[in-house]
């Protein structure tokens, strides 16, 4: 069997509603020399049956079935242990890849030998596949290296990276959240470089409950802790990653409810600002920051990141 140039890795848990579209968007790529490793993370819906249907038709698909749910990071590590390609591309079971995504990214990495991981801008789509927004990413590697102190400089579902970096990174670490952010911080710590293709190469699915997850207290607290480790040159040291250190204590139910309210105000404020209702939007962001110290920190990091992006010419 010939060794494929690219290994596309995807972990799936109960995503049968969108899985066919996601799989077909990879199988229909203009670049054909790849293997498609799909890990079923103990789904309880019809996801695995859908995977089997496509695997029976296309020999590039490699199926792995977890006997118990392991979570995204560990499932992706299972895929990485199987991957044979010189390049690894990420994909999620509810997103849709632009048909020339793999071709565009492999061409970029072949022309830019100093870049080890590349992402891209992306379109945000709703549950009906309607485009609701566009997320534009900075391409300048120097700016991205500064952005990592405030946010992830490269969107996880858009990644393609050289498999050789895994000799140092060894895959994802088993953290309760922000595993992709941790991956990028360690990548920088080993001296590797990141860039983005400014053209959108992915249609990223936004669910109603996805916002609350992405802005959860757990996500924000762990990202803050990782940033502190990174600034202190300690992000590679596993001894700082036991549960008591990374997530000491649990916020009370009242704090969590207030944070949820703060989050909803933040999202409304951000939406108003995108629609050019700047004053009303800024008022809601201000109230959001006052209600929750976690959202206050998140908004501060977003503001600092936006200043850096403007320096790079991205608004």
- Residues 102 and 198: their CA atoms lie apart, in Å, by 15
Domain membership of residue 235 (yes or no) is no
203 lies in the same domain as 268: no
Domain membership of residue 281 (yes or no) is yes
User: Read out DSSP for 5-40?
Assistant: SEEEEEEESS-TTTHHHHHHHHHT-S---EEEEEEE
187 lies in the same domain as 259: no
Q: Tell me the pLDDT tens digit for each residue of 52-84.
A: 999 999 999 999 999 999 999 999 999 999 999
144 lies in the same domain as 268: no
Domain membership of residue 267 (yes or no) is yes
CATH of the domain at 80: 3.90.550.10
- Owning domain of residue 285: 251-315
Locate 233 and state its tokens: 């040159």
Mean pLDDT confidence for 147-171: 96
For residue 15, report the phi and psi dihedrals to the nearest 5 degrees: -125, 35
178 lies in the same domain as 42: yes
36 lies in the same domain as 101: yes
Q: What is the pLDDT of residue 206?
A: 85
| Helix, coil or strand: residue 116 | coil
* Cα→Cα distances 61→9, 54, 79, 103, Å: 10, 8, 12, 18
| Least confident residue range of 88-97, 193-202, 242-251, 257-266 | 242-251
Domain membership of residue 108 (yes or no) is yes
- Residues 133 and 125: their CA atoms lie apart, in Å, by 7
Residue 28's pLDDT band (cuts 50, 70, 90): very high
174 lies in the same domain as 285: no
Domain membership of residue 241 (yes or no) is no
Domain membership of residue 217 (yes or no) is no
Q: pLDDT above 90 covers what percent of the chain?
A: 77
Residue 314's pLDDT band (cuts 50, 70, 90): low
48 lies in the same domain as 155: yes
57 lies in the same domain as 112: yes
pLDDT at 23 over 60: yes
255 lies in the same domain as 198: no
175 lies in the same domain as 284: no
């Amino acid at each position: 069997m010939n060794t494929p140039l690219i290994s596309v890795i995807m972990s799936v848990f109960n995503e049968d509603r969108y899985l066919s579209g996601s799989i077909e968007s990879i199988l229909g790529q203009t670049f054909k020399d790849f293997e498609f490793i799909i890990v079923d993370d103990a789904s309880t819906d019809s996801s695995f049956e859908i995977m089997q249907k496509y695997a029976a038709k296309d020999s590039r698909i490699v199926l792995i079935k977890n006997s118990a749910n392991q979570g995204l990071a560990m499932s992706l590590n299972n895929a990485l242990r199987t991957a044979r390609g010189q390049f690894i591309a990420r994909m999620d079971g509810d997103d849709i890849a632009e048909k020339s995504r793999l071709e565009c990214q492999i061409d970029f990495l072949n022309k830019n030998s100093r870049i080890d991981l590349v992402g891209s801008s992306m379109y945000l789509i709703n549950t009906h596949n309607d485009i609701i927004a566009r997320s534009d990413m900075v391409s300048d590697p120097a700016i991205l290296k500064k952005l990592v102190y405030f946010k992830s400089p490269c969107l996880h579902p858009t990644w393609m990276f050289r498999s050789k970096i895994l000799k140092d990174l060894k895959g994802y670490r088993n953290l309760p959240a922000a595993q992709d952010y941790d991956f990028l911080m360690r990548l920088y710590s080993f001296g590797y470089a990141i860039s983005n293709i400014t053209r959108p190469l992915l249609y990223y699915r936004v669910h109603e409950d996805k916002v609350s997850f992405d802005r959860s207290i757990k996500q924000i607290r762990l990202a803050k802790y990782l940033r502190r480790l990174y600034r202190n040159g300690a992000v590679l040291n596993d001894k700082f990653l036991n549960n008591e250190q990374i997530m000491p204590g649990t916020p009370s139910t009242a704090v969590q409810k207030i944070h949820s309210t703060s989050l909803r105000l933040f999202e409304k404020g951000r939406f108003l600002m995108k629609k050019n209702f700047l004053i009303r939007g800024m008022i809601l962001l201000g109230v959001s920051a006052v209600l929750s110290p976690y959202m206050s920190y998140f908004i501060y990091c977003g503001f600092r990141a936006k200043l850096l992006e403007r320096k790079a010419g991205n608004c």
